[in-house]
Chains A and B, each alone.
Chain A
Amino acid sequence: MFRGMFARPENGKMYWKEFMHQCNDIGIGSLGIVTIISVFIGAVSTIQTAYQLVSPLLPKTIIAQIVRDTVILEFAPTLTCIVLAGVIGSKIASELGNMRVSEQIDALEIMGINTKAYLIAPKIVAGVLMIPLLIIISMTLGIWGGRLAGVAAGILSGETYDRGLLDGFKAYNVFFALAKSFVFAFIICSIPAFYGYYVKGGALEIGRSSTKAVVVSCVLLLIADYVLSALLL
């Protein structure tokens, strides 16, 4: 599949248009769910961390530090990407599967269009570009959600939370999260594209391939998460 994607475009403008369309679908289309997940994950993290830190000897700023690091290292990249694997993955698999079953891909092939390059490559490139941006937004909103919940529940003040965020901050953690998000983005877009593009049969098979694509993507995300953590941390 990947070999066929690298070919000279028949018309650069049309490929660019398709790429921008995919950026909009993947990026803007997923912004709502990413916002909701991130804010609530941050909020719950703050409350649960405060619940477990019962020692009066520990400063409250440590709550913010734990929320910051868990959100940046794990929650924002991994959890968000698992949700995105469902949202974006099923969309890509079902869209391509429907195009295959209804002969739209054959129609493009007969016109002389390289369908792998025109249909799959823009999705993967757009995903690899937009998903890391979504992860950055997720990190920010997750940390902000934690602050919001901490202050609202009277666990700690805004100033204490902000001071905790700056204590022992490692920029490498952000780099690690972004490195993960690039790998995850590639998995989220390429696996469903494969299952969708090569689907055979009818509506039932489209549903099956879509489900399979999401399951395989999620498993691969978890394996990649472990491997990258072992290698980079």
Chain B
Amino acid sequence: MIELKNIQKSFGDKPVIKDVSATMKAGQCNLIIGSSGSGKTVLMKCMVGLFEPDGGQVLYDGKDFFSLNLDEKKEIRKEIGMLFQGSALFDSQTVQQNVMFPLDMFTNDSHATKLKRANEVLDRVNLKDANKKFPAELSGGMKKRVALARAIVLNPKYLFCDEPNSGLDPLTSMVIDKLIQEITKEYNITTVVNTHDMNSLMEIGDYILYMHQGNKEWEGSNKEIIFSKNERLNEFIFASEFLKDAKEMRMLEETGKLPDEIREKPAE
């Protein structure tokens, strides 16, 4: 479980994160959503320790990350996997070498054992026959899958995904979402996903944190979001007519009633 307590972060005089608190549980996909510049990437970078917050705490299973010493931080970081927006694969290494890199660095297993583990995770992300290829030879979706394989190869307790669907077609996006969801449940990982993708939101959002101008504007699940009365959230999520229709259909599915008939459904 990851707890954020009153996180604040500014760049110069400009506050980017203003007193954000949240609890992200294990075994569920925790989504951070918000328009561009709302502070979600900065929040994620604060969570993984790439930025140090000006105030507040990031607790990994109760341990305050920023009050730990360097060795203790390294121990927590070994339990973190991250899927970057641009995949961040090492250009000079093959797919297999990329996936084996964390194993080479942090385990003393034999080469055969490491190779077996690398092949296991590559199979898990449905990537076969690409072991000898270099990142430049892969499609966007394949790169994301390799990055996901590398992120989970050490069996992390916490998985961070920064815009996992950016630049991907809808079908590949769904495959990546499905993989993230399955892996989260399978290994009971605390997964944090930073996304703009409305499909991801509705499909895998067990917990959703909506950021607006550095503030936590709304939180809840994908079941609750369609009943939300928050105007900013509704404007952001259900911007198009198509999405408004989709919302109505989902409401009908959930309650058997159309939106006009639903005055207010209390959040559970």
Contact = CB atoms under 8 A, between A and B. Distances in A.
B88 A104 contact: yes
Contact of A110 (B75, B80, B86, B90): B80
A109 B50 contact: yes
A10 B50 contact: no
A152 B104 CA distance: 55
A111 B73 CA distance: 10
A11 B85 CA distance: 28
Contact of A104 (B74, B75, B77, B90): B90
A57 B106 CA distance: 72
Contacts of A109: 49-50, 77
A103 B85 contact: yes
B88 A106 contact: yes
A87 interface: no
A98 B91 contact: yes
Contacts of A98: 91
B62 to A, nearest CB: 20
B46 interface: no
A106 B106 contact: no
Interface in A81-107: 98, 102-104, 106-107
B48 interface: yes
B189 interface: no
A110 to B, nearest CB: 5
Given A10-B105, A10-B106, A112 B78 contact: yes
Interface string A11-25: 101100000000000
B86 A103 contact: yes
Given A11-B104, A11-B105, A111 B78 contact: yes
Contacts of B106: 10-11, 111-112
A56 B255 CA distance: 110
A112 B77 contact: yes
A100 to B, nearest CB: 11
Given A10-B106, A14-B104, A14-B105, A106 B74 contact: no
Interface residues of B, number: 22
A222 B84 CA distance: 42
Contacts of A112: 73-75, 77-78, 106
A110 B90 CA distance: 14
A110 B50 contact: yes
Given A106-B50, A107-B82, A113 B88 contact: no
Nearest to B160: A110
Contacts of A104: 88-91
A143 B208 CA distance: 72
Nearest to A98: B91
B29 to A, nearest CB: 19
A11 B107 CA distance: 9
Interface string B86-108: 10111100000000001011100
Given A14-B104, A98-B91, A113-B105, A107 B84 contact: yes
Contacts of B75: 112
B50 A102 contact: no
Nearest to B147: A107
A102 B88 contact: yes
A20 to B, nearest CB: 14
Interface string B57-89: 000000000000000011101101010111011
A103 B78 CA distance: 18
B105 A106 contact: no
A109 B160 CA distance: 14
A153 B85 CA distance: 62
B52 to A, nearest CB: 13
A199 B20 CA distance: 30
Contacts of A106: 50, 84, 88
A103 B161 CA distance: 13
21 contacts: A10-B105, A13-B104, A14-B104, A98-B91, A102-B88, A102-B91, A103-B85, A103-B88, A104-B89, A107-B82, A107-B84, A109-B49, A109-B50, A109-B77, A110-B80, A111-B78, A111-B80, A112-B73, A112-B74, A112-B77, A112-B78
Given A104-B91, A110-B49, A110-B80, 4 more contacts: A102-B88, A103-B88, A104-B90, A109-B49
Give the 8 A-B CB pairs with smallest separation, nearest first.
Answer: A112-B77, A103-B88, A107-B88, A112-B74, A103-B84, A110-B82, A11-B105, A104-B88
Interface of B: 48-50, 73-75, 77-78, 80, 82, 84-86, 88-91, 102, 104-106, 160
